[in-house]
Amino acid sequence: MKTFKIAVIPGDGIGPEVIAEGIKVMEKAAELDGRMQFEFTHFPWGCEHYLKYGKMMADDGIEQLKTFDAIYLGAVGYPGVPDHISLWDLLLRIRKEFDQYVNIRPIKLLNGAPCPIEGGNKETIDMMFIRENSEGEYAGAGDWLFKGKPEEVVLQTGVFSRKGTERIIRYAFEEAAKTGRTLTSISKANALNYSMVFWDEVFEEVSNEYPDVKTASYLVDAAAMLMVKDPARFEVVVTSNLFGDILTDLGAALAGGMGLAAGANINPKREWPSMFEPIHGSAPDIAGRKMANPLAAVWSASQMFDFFGYKNIGSLLLGAIERLMEERTVITPDLGGTASTSEVGDRIVEIISQEKKVSSFR
């Protein structure tokens, strides 16, 4: 039997609440499948750790994480710790150190999920966002000069290397070619006259290697409008770190809300662990009240199964999420129900156990 070693960083706020349900579901799914098992190791890193020890993670944290097959992360950030510290010293550090340069965010409206736009359904809202995850606007390059003086100046520099730009665009072309979908690039070359002109050029260059992939290219502002007006035109989408961050929250709203949005941070060469997480934050407004929706965490667990090559289990979990939302009996308040976080996790476990009974799902 194959054993996967998973580093669990539940983090802050609702992070631990939703991750507990994800783990419950992963253990059950592995047991049902019978070919694999998980060994979970918990790391108590996050804002509480910061308030106690002055750091978000252990000094040798990256070293400790290196040997795992994957990282399962809840959410980080809490009032009392500046957001730029909690983000940079844990999440972004892991993404960068492990060169998880691909951020995959499925934006897929499952049956039963609420959608704020007319005509939104499973066919019209089914996108795969591929966001550059290692540099760009989140490279952390810049300066803060004459701090506090009248002549104060801050510079936040976007960093677009040829290597970084090419590899993410090529990854997206591969994904589109493999699945026979169109590829849309989102940039902003009219205003960002260096970085995005370069991005568009690289997209053009790489597209010559994939004559069979149908492409489109939009400015980010137009893309935001079109995602709402005509979402069906987006299939595989590739964009920069910042644009991808913003547009995937818009996408999350189209596809059922933050409680349903998952993301995978992938190191495609598999030199170091990849990281799977719900994309929502720690939601201090509802933390500790047992009302957080764990489905995003379950969806990211499904991405993890896909990544490990167990696509049958990945789709079993996705199917269970869909069935639960169609039933509408055990759903959390954000989806209009009254169920608690753990009741939703329990119901997913029941559904996958039943599905397994009626079909041997291998």
- Residues numbered 253-272 forming contacts with ligand NAI, rule: CB under 6 A: 258-259
Residue 163 to residues 134, 180, 229, 239, Cα–Cα distance (Å): 11, 25, 34, 15
Does 77 bind ligand NAI (CB under 6 A)? Our answer is yes
Residue 352 to residues 139, 175, 286, 313, 316, Cα–Cα distance (Å): 41, 28, 28, 9, 7
Q: By rule CB under 6 A, what count of residues binds ligand NAI?
A: 22
CA distance 134 to 230: 30
Please say whether the beta carbons of 176 and 182 come within 8 A: yes
Q: Which amino acid, residue 162?
A: R
Of 188, 280, 347, 356, which one interacts with ligand NAI (CB under 6 A)?
280
Q: Which does 245 bind (CB under 5 to 8 A by kind): Mg ion, ligand NAI, none?
A: Mg ion
- Report, in Å, the least distance between residue 42 CB and ligand NAI: 17
List of residues 6+ apart from 210 with CB closer than 8 A: 173, 176, 177
Q: Which does 258 bind (CB under 5 to 8 A by kind): Mg ion, ligand NAI, none?
A: ligand NAI
- Report, in Å, the least distance between residue 286 CB and ligand NAI: 4
Of 238, 286, 331, 352, which one interacts with ligand NAI (CB under 6 A)?
286
Does 248 bind ligand NAI (CB under 6 A)? Our answer is no
- Residues numbered 4-23 forming contacts with ligand NAI, rule: CB under 6 A: 14, 18
CA distance 252 to 247: 9
Q: Which amino acid, residue 42?
A: H
Q: By rule CB under 5 A, what count of residues binds Mg ion?
A: 1
Please say whether the beta carbons of 317 and 42 come within 8 A: no
Of 69, 175, 245, 343, which one interacts with Mg ion (CB under 5 A)?
245
- Report, in Å, the least distance between residue 125 CB and ligand NAI: 19
Contact pattern for ligand NAI over residues 89 through 128, marking x by CB under 6 A: --x-------------------------------------
Of 63, 83, 205, 209, which one interacts with ligand NAI (CB under 6 A)?
83
Q: Which of 189, 199, 226, 137 is nearest to 207 (CA)?
A: 199
Does 132 bind Mg ion (CB under 5 A)? Our answer is no
Contact pattern for ligand NAI over residues 170 through 199, marking x by CB under 6 A: ------------------------------
Strand order in the sheet with 102-108: 36-42, 2-11, 70-75, 274-278, 262-266, 102-108, 126-132, 236-239, 183-187, 215-219
Largest CA distance in the chain: 71
Residues that bind ligand NAI (CB under 6 A): 14, 18, 75-78, 83, 91, 258-259, 277, 280-286, 292-293, 296, 334
Residues that bind Mg ion (CB under 5 A): 245
